[in-house]
Structure 1
Amino acid sequence: MENNREGPYSVLTRDQLKGNMKKQIAEISEIFSLSKPDATVLLMFLRWDSHEVSEFLVENNEKVLSESGLKPVVVDPNQISSCGICFKTCDEVYLDDGDYLISTPFCSHIFCKSCWRKYLEKNFYLVEKTQTRISCPHGACQAAVGPDTIQKLTVGDQEMYVEYILRSYIEGNKVLEIKYCPAQDCNYVIEFHQKNHDGADQEDYGFNVVCLCGHIFCWRCMLESHKPVTCNNASDWLFRDLNSLSKESGEKPLSLSSFETREKTYPLSSIKATKKVCPHCLRPADLGTKQYLRFLTCACSGRFCWKCMQPEEAHKTESGFYKFCNVSMTFEGRAPKTLEGRAEPENSCVGHWKASEVSLKQAKSDLQAFEESNIKNPSDLTEKDFTIIRKGLMLIVQCRQVLKWSCVYDYLHAEYEMSKREYLRFLQADATSLVESFSKTLNEEIGRASSATYENFCCVKHKVTIETSNIGNYFYHFIKTLQEGLDDVKVKSYDDYGGLFWLCDRCTYGNTWFHKECLMCSDDIAARVDLSDMSLN
């Protein structure tokens, strides 16, 4: 188990997560002398915030117990001894099923097991969003339904309730941020330690998580790790640009099987034209007939401009007034740019993407083969020794993934940035050469380690450790350089020209700063430069 509390996240099994949940329930139960069922109900109600539970129980015990449904409800003296839904009497239920009518400990409303099951499945178990409280099936009753009630039902109902509680702990937890690994057939869960990670670039680029199953994914958008490009650029590439470019080049559209995630994640490829992806939570927000509105409000309460897909705050000046949206300032009568109008590198980007996919699969295959060989052919080396080699192989997988997504970074650069594109391809070639050299060295050392004694393995271990550290540092700066926009490259441009207008480098037409493309010739803001214009700081 990867459970380093000093790191930004922990990888846990479902059983370990259940253990953490039960421990939290037991602590509240012991401190405040509550039964474990009542402690479970309280924690669910306050979204698993033990500190808030403690404050409420100390400051206003009666109020929080009443609001959570843990206070006894006044018993109706005229209560009929029959199921409140199907109206079967106690005798009828016993004769039909051999069971009794069941109520919560806090009210007298009784129901048969069959009606309990239908009520719980319809309103809670089979509903996508978890609730903070399960109440009595009687419409006006607020009595809580907790583990002490569920244990009177069938084994199947009890198992579904346990899963529901665990889902509440994962999805409704406002203290811990927990998500399932999105890889197919993986049951690991990731617990993110927010206080241990400042996440300066997490808003745009996400945070990479390495699961114990070997899958590397972005914490923010749940796609596979896509640095150095942003989450929005990654989703656009996977679900729009990649297939469009493949069709234009006459190739078969590429399969997205390697990017498949759980059904509960949002299938961006199926989002219709009337939906826009919220930049805050990456969920689809319905535009519908609201095109007359400037800003859309997502279910996450985030507001964004549906034209430029930027948050509402990005459209405000320091004084709080709204400014023009650059995307909305278009030149009437001019057709939008299509993929056909783009330059040559698109096809080469697809080719590099495919080649990088092959290299990435080979790296994953090498890692899996190493793990399997350790199981089949155990040696005298310790687990710590194997971890050193495993980290090296995992690093190769991550580096191959970065190189693959750097192809998308290449695609995102427009024609006028040829100098940056050439510099990027130089960096890509250099990084690829380093990874291949490291991979060759690592495979040689693995071969030596398989037959080496513990004493001889010290040299292998030292060399692998140094090489792993060096390649890791190189790719850290490689990603950082790309995310900073290749600022080392200088290009000629009129961007710094003062005044109310910028001058187009192609036709010298003066455009206002509200326009990102020349109104005369449709050229983007920037100069078309030769390689001789490129210089490095």
Structure 2
Amino acid sequence: MDSDDDMLDAYDDVESGEYDTSSDRDDDDDEHGHGENETDCGYVVEDDDSSTSTHCSNQVNYVVLKEEDIRKRQEDDIKQVSTVFSITNVEASVLLLHYRWNVSKLNDEWFADEEKVRRTVGVLEGGSVVVVGDNPRKVKCGICFEKFRRIKIVPVVCGHSFCSTCWNGYVSTAINDGSGCLMRKCPEPSCDVAVCRDLVEKVVSSEEDRNKYDRYFLRSYIEESRKMKWCPAPGCEHAVEFSATGTSASYDVSCSCLHRFCWNCKEDAHSPVDCGTVSKWILKNSAEAENTTWILANSKACPKCKRPIEKNHGCMHMTCGSPCKHQFCWLCLGAWTEHGGSTGGFYSCNKYEKAKKGGLYDEAEKKREMAKNSLERYTHYYERWASNEKSRKKAFGDLQVFLSEKIAKLSEVQCIPETQLTFITDAWGQIIECRRVLKWTYAYGYYLPESEHEKQCFFEYMQGEAESGLERLHRCVETESEVFQDAEVPSEQHFNAFRQKLNTLTSVTKTHFETLVKALENGLSDVKSEAACSKETPSKKRRK
């Protein structure tokens, strides 16, 4: 933290450089058999000729896959198995579905005992569908037991015969029941022969059902993978392949749809906070336990009907709601008929004071006070967590408005090409990212043990410094940029001063947050208690 004073000085410098516009307004192969691309870069690579985006750093690699990329990989695996095993693509598909698209495992077991694999999966030799010549003799359907000419019967390799209508109903029902349709067997109860894709295409009459089956088949390739997952954003059809190449515990990835999420737990991106802490925090925010804590801290049970009652104003004379209507004293919970001038009247209760001195209410008061303190502490962190999330969403919306509407107007007013206004876009992007990080530091702070005083002081100091810088940056880009957009006459000198100030604030804020993230990822192991605790942080001021 030796550079903190320098960064604060930089803030002072840019703050002092004010401008006036009032007068002149100017790994190894994965289970699908795909190797990892080892690329040494620290940026996003986007090739217009390719539908994949590869994101690399010295710590993680991930690739965003579109539907055509997924389908191509799936087809490549099918062709590979088909070629090596000398079987049809349809049979290869059934085998890969059964082995969850694990090409290596399928190879090992196939060459160890081919017959056993065929029996287990339900792929018999001779192809997936038997072609039967025209024969006038009628055949009974094994489901409806009606007799049909052979031309109406859809035979399979196992020899069991069913009519096309029954096949359509059997497979369509399975498709509408979910992805289990991919593992369907012959309708004959004693038969384990698998229902293949070509049979589904042949017997299912509904195009919608055929498309649904195809979607299940495609999605199974991702859902059975240990290194690929679908983007959780609503309506997004992209998947992300992830492989760690360093020691970082961060799983944050960015999909092509602009949604950022944690690849490990699929929640919103939350580095530097680990998935376990995020899971506990989200559960706590939605848990009924918080309602119970609030009731315990802010209410008392009616002595008669036991319903919780909140006292928000007025005297100690309480009347329970209908149909109970019991009247009692808020302090001692005794019947109000036993109260009067001798017990302290409407504003106090001598019976309560006397019993409290005797220790009668010590345990209940202690429990209520502990619940109240716990609730206040949780509220402190939750309000700031929620406030930063709200600010992040607003900043994202402001960025979209700037790119779609304001940047063109600013370019026209200031006579500057849009390509030279990217520093404003960069500032908004930095704000959005910092709001995300700051939001999750409040969840981190809530679970930081209060007994670790030195770490808590160090954490609050770093968090306060980062937050202070972020507020300056946010205020500058949000308010001061409007001055130049609404200017009647361009001012190159003032605009350049604004550019320099915003660039400096963006850089300093980024440095603060990088330092904060690194410290949290290291578990605050570099805590310097004397330096941290000697300064009163903005975060501690807010909690007083």
- Give TM class, smaller chain: 0.5 to 0.7
TM-score (norm 1): 0.58
C-alpha contact (below 8 Å) 1:130/1:167 kept by paired residues: no
Kept in 2, the 8 Å contact 1:491–1:533? The answer is no
Aligned to 1:230: 274
Q: Deviations over 1:18-69 (max 9, x none)?
A: 2332233234335554332122122222222334444555565554444432
Contact 2:438-2:467 at 8 Å conserved across structures: yes
1:316-465 equivalences in 2 (<5 Å): 339-342=371-374, 344-370=376-402, 372=404, 393-439=428-474
**AA aligned opposite 2:142:** G
Distance in 1 (CA, whole Å) between partners of 2:126 and 2:191 is 8
Q: Which amino acid aligns with 1:412?
A: Y
The verdict on how the C-alpha distance between 1:170 and 1:339 changes in structure 2, with shifts beyond 3 A counting, is: farther
How many residue pairs were aligned?
392
AA aligned opposite 2:101: W
**Residues 124/429 of structure 1: CA separation in 2 closer, same or farther (3 Å cut):** same
- Do structure 1's residue 85 and structure 2's residue 143 form an aligned pair? yes
8 Å contact kept, 2:388–2:435: yes
> Which digits, 9 at most, give the CA deviation of each residue in 1:231-267, with x for residues without a partner?
23323322324676688679xxxxxxxxxxxxxxxxx
Structure 2 distance, partners of 1:374, 1:21, is: 44
Partner of 2:327: none
Counterpart AA for 2:140: S
Quick check: which one's helix share is greater?
2
Task: Answer whether contact 1:245 1:346 (CA < 8 A) is retained.
Answer: no
The counterpart of 1:28, out of the listed 78, 81, 92, is 81
After superposition, give the CA deviation of every residue in 1:187-208 in whole Å (9 maximum; x if it has no partner).
23333233x4345536xxxx11
Change (3 A) 1:410 1:52: closer
Q: Given that residues 473 and 502 in structure 2 are in contact (C-alpha distance below 8 angstroms), is that contact kept between their aligned partners in structure 1?
A: no
* C-alpha contact (below 8 Å) 2:184/2:194 kept by paired residues: yes
RMSD: 5.0
Matched, 1:201 2:249: yes
Letter in 2 for 1:87: F
Q: Distance in 2 between matches of 1:116 and 1:146?
A: 12
Separation (CA, whole Å) in 2 of partners of 1:469 and 1:163: 46
SS of the counterpart of 2:142? coil
Deviation, structure 1 residue 223: 1.8
Cα contact 1:38–1:146 (8 A) shared by 2: yes
1:66-100 deviations in Å (ceiling 9; x for gaps): 4432224899x9x9823322223326xx9xxxx93
- Identical-residue share of aligned pairs (%): 28
- Structure with bigger gyration radius: 2
Deviation readout 1:470-511 (Å, 9 max, x if unpaired): 75554343123124343344679xxxxxxxxxxxxxxxxxxx
The 3 A distance-change label for structure 1 pair 427 and 162 is same
Within the candidate set 477, 481, 485, 2:515 is matched to 477
Q: Deviations over 1:294-339 (max 9, x none)?
A: xxxxxxxxxxxxxxxxxxxxxxxxxxxxxxxxxxxxxxxx989964
Q: 2:99, 2:106 within 8 Å by CA — same for their partners in 1?
A: yes
Kindly indicate whether structure 1 or structure 2 has the higher relative contact order, using CA contacts under 8 Å at least 6 residues apart. 2
In structure 2, relative to structure 1, the CA distance for the partners of 1:26 and 1:373 (3 Å cut) is: farther
Q: Distance in 2 between matches of 1:383 and 1:31?
A: 55
Task: Tell me the residue number matched to 1:137.
Answer: 187
**1:386 & 1:39 partners in 2: Cα distance?**
54
Distance 1:463 1:35 in 2: 66
- The DSSP-based 3-state class of the residue aligned with 2:192 is coil
Maintained 8 Å contact 1:135/1:143: yes
Distance 1:197 1:371 in 2: 35
Within 2, Cα distance between the matches of 1:48 and 1:192? 15
Measured in 2, the distance between the counterparts of 1:382 and 1:137 equals 68
Q: Equivalent residue of 2:229, what SS?
A: strand
Counterpart AA for 1:231: C
AA matched with 2:223 = E
TM-score, length basis structure 2: 0.57
Match of 2:196 in 1: 146
Shift of 1:365: 1.0
- Deviation of residue 139 (structure 1)? 1.6
Unaligned runs of 5+ in 2: 1-50, 296-365, 491-496, 537-544
